């Protein structure tokens, strides 16, 4: 099914705007920014209401892949529209779409990679699944549950705590490594290396 010349579409999920930049909900954007740096690319506006970097990822040779790195500029709960438009524009098969997102049901700073599944109440995933179906890859960045009676919405829209920030650079770096491994070596290899 997969056309080998088709690019991968790697989508960092988050909310646009400086006031959201450090939020737990924006870890997908943080990982996308690091991947763009590694690719020596600069995000540019795309008509699909997203910022994109086009380039290559992975080691030289057959594992070097064409990728489109994207940050939807809609809000999180409308991510599906830009993702669908980018998929159609770049002719990306579903099995080459990767969403990088925060995950409440995984402790901070834990990573898990998987293919398909539910949205677990995550509005970005809900919107993507409604638009393209559930069978895309996910790089799930654990942020843990809110403390006490704090509402989930308040928790995800808060910046990482000072304690969490001590490990944040390492966590974002590890998530970026996991994305690169997924694309170069496949899901099973990435899971065995990065799922904890």
Catalytic residues: 25
Two tokens at 125?
A: 């995933």
Q: 51, 22, 38, 32: which is closest to 143 by C-alpha?
A: 22
What is the DSSP-derived secondary structure letter of residue 147?
S
Q: Contact at 8 Å (CB) between 172 and 163?
A: no
- Residues 6 or more apart whose Cβ sits within 8 Å of residue 85: 47, 48, 49, 50
Q: 69, 34, 59: which is closest to 181 by C-alpha?
A: 59
- Pairing type for strands 111-115 and 137-142 reads antiparallel
């Amino acid at each position: 099914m997969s056309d080998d010349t088709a690019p991968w579409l790697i989508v960092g999920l988050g909310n646009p705007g400086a006031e959201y930049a450090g939020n737990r909900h924006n870890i997908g954007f943080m990982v996308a920014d690091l991947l763009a740096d590694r690719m020596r690319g600069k995000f540019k506006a795309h008509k699909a209401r997203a910022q994109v970097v086009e380039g290559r990822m992975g080691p030289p040779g057959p594992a070097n892949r064409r990728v489109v790195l994207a940050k939807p500029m809609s809000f999180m709960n409308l991510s599906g529209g830009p993702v669908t438009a980018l998929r159609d524009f770049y002719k990306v098969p579903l099995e080459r779409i990767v969403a990088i997102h925060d995950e409440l049901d995984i402790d901070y700073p834990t990573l898990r990679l998987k293919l398909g599944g539910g949205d677990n109440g995550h509005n970005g995933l809900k919107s993507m699944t409604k638009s393209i179906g559930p069978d895309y890859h996910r790089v799930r960045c654990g942020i843990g549950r809110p403390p006490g009676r704090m509402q989930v919405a308040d928790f995800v829209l808060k910046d990482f705590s000072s304690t969490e920030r001590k490990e944040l650079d390492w966590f974002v770096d590890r998530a970026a490594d996991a994305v690169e491994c997924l694309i170069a070596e496949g899901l099973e290899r990435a899971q065995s290396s990065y799922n904890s």
